[in-house]
């Protein structure tokens, strides 16, 4: 299987997480049910980064859980199976078998089976004088692979998390291994978001002639880390098909395989690259689904 198998109907759930994990899972369930009620033939649900916990370096250990026995994995799997919808479960803190904590995203097919697991590869360690300092590596460990996988009946996907989008090699690898859609649950903040969020979504889409999905948390009116919001879907020509605001909402889009085919046919990048001059990073990449 490769690229997009059919027109995919997708819903992006943009919401913020409180300090109560159970309440966060309940909110995710309520929004997912609302999306399915509005669009009963929905193919794919996408959740935001850190959807079951606050996005805070000093809190990740308090919310982490094992996979697959953790409550978040069980919730996502059960929902996908009961409602026969594929789910890209944003991300949440995972306690690995090695005792380390990872920022991890799981994907489930419409039978509830885990078909992909991505641990955030690039940790968000920045210091912008006078604006913000954040260091994920203080408590999180990094993943070690590019994630490319198939969802039966929908096609091939690439999956990465937030800061990963700044490193185009992951998107290149996914695209050159046949992905027609690349998904980034991400929590850009109100400093970096307005300047970079849309640009990266458009850039990754144009560079790789794929659909790009960005799913963000909403702004939290109760304080704490403030996500930029603006969850969006970008088509292979770089056109933004749908974009949220910064409050809690659901946005819907259709990923049409003909748009992808036309973009690749009209401008045949895949046959014009000069790997006699520069390396094909996808050949060297460590890639997998699980």
Q: Which residues are catalytic?
A: 49, 120, 162
For CA atoms 147, 287, 102, 168, give the dihedral sign. Answer: negative
Q: Is the peptide bond before 159 cis (omega within 30 degrees of 0)?
A: no
The H-assigned helical ranges of 10-163 are: 21-38, 60-63, 71-83
Contacts of 130 (CB under 8 A, 6+ apart): none
Contacts of 74 (CB under 8 A, 6+ apart): 68
Of the candidates 14, 75, 26, 42, the residue with the CA atom closest to the CA atom of residue 214: 14
Cα–Cα distance, 157 to 178 (Å, whole number):
8
User: DSSP letter at 189?
Assistant: B
């Amino acid at each position: 299987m490769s690229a997009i198998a059919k027109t995919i109907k997708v819903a992006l759930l943009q919401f913020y997480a409180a300090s109560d994990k159970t309440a966060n899972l309940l909110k995710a369930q309520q929004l997912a049910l609302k999306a399915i009620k509005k669009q009963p033939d929905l193919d794919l649900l996408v959740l935001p980064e850190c959807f079951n916990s606050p996005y805070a370096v000093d809190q990740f250990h308090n919310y982490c859980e094992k996979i697959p026995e953790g409550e978040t994995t069980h919730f996502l799997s059960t929902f996908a199976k009961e409602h026969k919808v594929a789910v890209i479960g944003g991300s949440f803190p995972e306690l690995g078998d090695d005792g380390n904590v990872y920022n991890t995203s799981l994907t489930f097919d419409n039978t509830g089976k885990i078909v992909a697991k991505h641990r955030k590869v690039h940790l968000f360690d920045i210091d912008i004088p006078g604006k913000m300092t954040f260091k994920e590596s203080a408590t999180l460990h990094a993943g070690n692979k590019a994630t490319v996988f198939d969802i039966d009946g929908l096609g091939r996907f690439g999956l990465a998390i937030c800061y990963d989008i700044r490193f185009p090699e992951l998107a290149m690898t996914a695209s050159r291994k046949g992905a027609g859609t690349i998904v980034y649950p991400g929590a850009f903040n109100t400093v970096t978001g307005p300047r970079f969020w849309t640009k990266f979504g458009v850039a990754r889409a144009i560079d790789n002639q794929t659909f790009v999905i960005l799913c963000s948390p909403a702004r939290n009116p109760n304080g704490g880390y403030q996500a930029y919001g603006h969850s969006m879907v970008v088509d292979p020509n770089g056109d933004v098909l749908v974009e949220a605001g910064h409050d809690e909402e659901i946005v819907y889009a259709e990923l049409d395989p003909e748009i992808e085919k036309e973009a690749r046919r009209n401008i045949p990048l895949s046959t014009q690259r000069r790997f006699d001059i520069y390396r094909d990073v996808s050949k060297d990449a460590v890639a997998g689904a699980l």
